[in-house]
Amino acid sequence: MTDIETKDQTPSPEEMRKEKLRQQMTIVIMLAALIFWGIKSPDTFLRVVLVAIGFGGIVMIHEFGHFIVAKLGGIKVEAFSIGMGPVVFGIRKLKKGWRVRVLPKIGAPDQVEEGDNETEYQIALLPIGGFVKMLGQSDTGAADQVDDPRSYANRPVGIRICVVSAGVIFNAVTAVLLFMALFLHGIDLKSAVVGDVIPNSPAYEAGLRPGDKVVEVDGERFVDFESLILAPALSAPGEPVHFTVQRFGGTEEKLDIVAEKSAVSSSGLRSIGISQQAAHTLIVEPEIAKTEEGVKDLYETAGLRPGDEVKAVDGQPVADPWQYDRLISQTFKSEIELSVCRQWPDGSGSDQKTMATVKFPVWIAPTLENFRDEYDLTHFCSLVPRLKVESVPPPLKVVSLPKRIINAFRTKILRQKVETDTDENVLPLKEGDILLKVADIEYPNYKQLRELTEDYKDKDMPMTVLRKDGEGAEQRVELIVQPKTHPGSSRVMVGFGPGLDLEHPVVAQTLPVPGVSDGELKIPKGASITAVNDKPVKDFFEIATAFQENAGQRVNVGYELDGQAGVVSVMVPEHEPVHAKAYLGMIIPYKYLTKEFQTSNPIQAAQWGLKTAWKFIS
């Protein structure tokens, strides 16, 4: 028999010295890069470190749950790792002492002798997860077939179920303990105050109104705004949710409301039709301006400052956010003026208060939200303005998943601006274009535009728009667009934000006004309104004001088309003469209304912690 000579695979002392030197150089380079990053961009560096620590902590607790239950269940655990990818640091208890591995060579076997601890505790390069490596267990493929009775596959099914469930259970228990500690210390949660109520919704029909404070939900007095959303969503179909509501003045009323699926929502969850839209203070959020891009533009463009408190809308004093919201929604002007109280440091240790005035453009949407019908068309005592292109987002290229993840990390975590690659297929529409004709419909309203968009999915759809040239002259322009399914949904879109042409008093259509026998102005498409009750008007803002001033009265409306003048008479509805809602053209980041939840009773804190954790799990 001939002996076969085998080559010794043990590295020579020189090779080991070089490998150790490479590892040390790698560590030095990594540390130098981190130090340089921390010095150059300390805010970004700290933000990333905090995110990594927070995420790593969640993963560590989750994986510790798997680890401890696997150990108790008699499963051999080979590794416990925080992070994914190559091992940066590993430590194991040996029979002769401790062994530490720093940046071990990728693929190098981990030599373990009899008597050594079976588990190595690791920190891996990428802080995006973690794992527990159990003998005979695999998350990505078939489990290893081994005869060892301590392998994962050879343990009873009950133990394996406990191991798999332990991670989530440990996270939930930790969440309860953390919330318990927060409630003992005191934590601010969004107050259970109704901001807005959607028309034609169960909440509206039951009598819930903006500003109502909910103090009890299904017998539970621990109520924040999330409770008002989750209770209806988790209720049984057809079963009412029991609310106790505190009105202005302190009186309480009980309301039973059955949640329904809204035509507006894409989630499919049942709701009662409320939002937190107006549930804010009148104070501009002091902290947001320091961090959020775009909000800084708000202060620079409109002249607002962090901490400003709104005191009046167009000269009318406001006492609460609901009065503020009503005044804004019913002010049909091209521009709204807000009076704000501002504090300036005067150097004496106190703040000097001054008054300032800021102006905002007004925007009116082509539709109003309707819980069961999705939306109503906006109209001015039956007059519908022409549609126009309010905004055209830049076209986007199809970006690969890795690049989307990198871009999301850069924008959300690093707060960096990401340059957007544009596609050659640029939408031919421009901001300010007025829609004269789409397919075969002249002056379509929003509902007709949506129907045409669906009909022309992936097909050429002709459009005629009125567009201003470089000198301000208006010209008709013929275009072709192709509606496409929006990525991530089934909605077919052209790709622009529609608005209303309020600057011109041109009528696109007229609509019947419910409850008024002659509530429709029989005015032809394309006609320009010239006067209301002999008072000249030049835009829809002035038309709206005239109808509001004559609510409940009969008025004469003059119009002109192709040089021919005409007059029609109509009874203006006393309630809602203008079926529209005005918004500020820029979003102001107000501070939300909050309520402090604090208790010195550990049992009550534990109950609150359990309920809050259950809300998140739900």
Class of domain 189-277: mainly beta
The pLDDT of residue 6 is 42
Q: Which two tokens stand for residue 441?
A: 């419909």
- For the stretch 71-110, pLDDT in tens is 899 998 888 888 877 788 888 888 788 888 877 765 455 6
Calpha distance 110→148 (Å, rounded): 19
Tell me what pLDDT residue 208 has.
94
The Cα–Cα gap between 457 and 437 comes to 18
Helix (H) or strand (E) holding 225: helix 225-234
Closest CA to 617 of 187, 230, 166: 230
pLDDT < 70 stretches in the chain: 1-12, 16, 20, 23-24, 26-27, 105-111, 115, 128, 138-145, 266, 287-297, 344-351, 395-402, 404-405, 409, 412-425, 488, 515-517, 519, 618
CATH number of the domain located at residue range(s) 280-366+586-590 in this protein? 2.30.42.10
How far is 129 from 84, CA to CA, in rounded Å? 6
**Sign, CA torsion 364/370/373/376:** negative
Task: Give the closest residue to 509 by CA, choosing from 425, 393, 415, 383.
Answer: 383
pLDDT at 535: 94
Choose among 187, 195, 194, 245: nearest CA to 215.
245
Tokens representing residue 126 in the block: 């990428």
Instruction: Assign 3-state DSSP to the chain and report helix, strand, coil percentages, each to 5.
Output: 30, 30, 40
CA nearest to 591, candidates 276, 353, 346 = 276
DSSP structure string for 28-89: HHHHHHHHHHHHH-HHHHHHHHHHHHHHHHHHHHHHHHHHHHHHHTTPPEEEEEEEEEEEEE
Measured CA to CA, the distance from residue 261 to residue 268 in angstroms comes to 6
Task: State residue 454's pLDDT score.
Answer: 94
Q: Which of 202, 274, 275 is nearest to 237 (CA)?
A: 202
Q: What phi-psi label fits residue 264: left (phi over 0), alpha (psi between -120 and 50 degrees) or beta?
A: alpha
What per-residue confidence (pLDDT) applies to 110? 64
Burial 168-180 (b: 16+ CB within 10 A, else e): eebbbebbbeebb
Bridge partners for 197 per DSSP: 274
Contacts of 532 (CB under 8 A, 6+ apart): 543, 546, 547, 550, 555, 556, 557, 558
Distance set, CA 401 to CA 51, 140, 404, 414, 421 (Å): 21, 20, 5, 19, 15
Token pair for 149: 């009775």
What lies within 8 Å, CB to CB, of 466 at 6+ separation is 433, 434, 436, 474, 475, 476, 477
Q: How far is CA 140 from the centre of its chain?
A: 33
Query: With contact defined as beta carbons under 8 Å apart, do 580 and 414 qualify?
Result: no
Cα dihedral 143, 149, 154, 155 sign: negative
Delimit the domains of the chain by residue range: 13-178, 189-277, 280-366+586-590, 379-392+427-579
Helices (H), 440-520: 446-455
Q: What is the pLDDT of residue 276?
A: 85
Q: Is 534 exposed, middle or buried (0-12, 13-18, 19+ CB in 10 A)?
A: exposed
Separation CA 351–CA 608 (nearest Å): 38
The pLDDT, as a whole number, for residue 295 is: 64
**Beta strands 564-571 and 374-377: pairing type?**
unpaired
Secondary structure of residue 201 in the 3-state scheme: coil
Element (H, E) at 532: strand 528-532
Domain pair 189-277 / 280-366+586-590, same fold:
yes
Q: Quick one: pLDDT at residue 7? A: 46
Architecture of the domain spanning 379-392+427-579: Roll (2.30)
610: amino acid identity, one letter: L
Q: State the pLDDT at residue 1.
A: 40
- Whether this prediction's pTM lies above 0.75 is answered by no
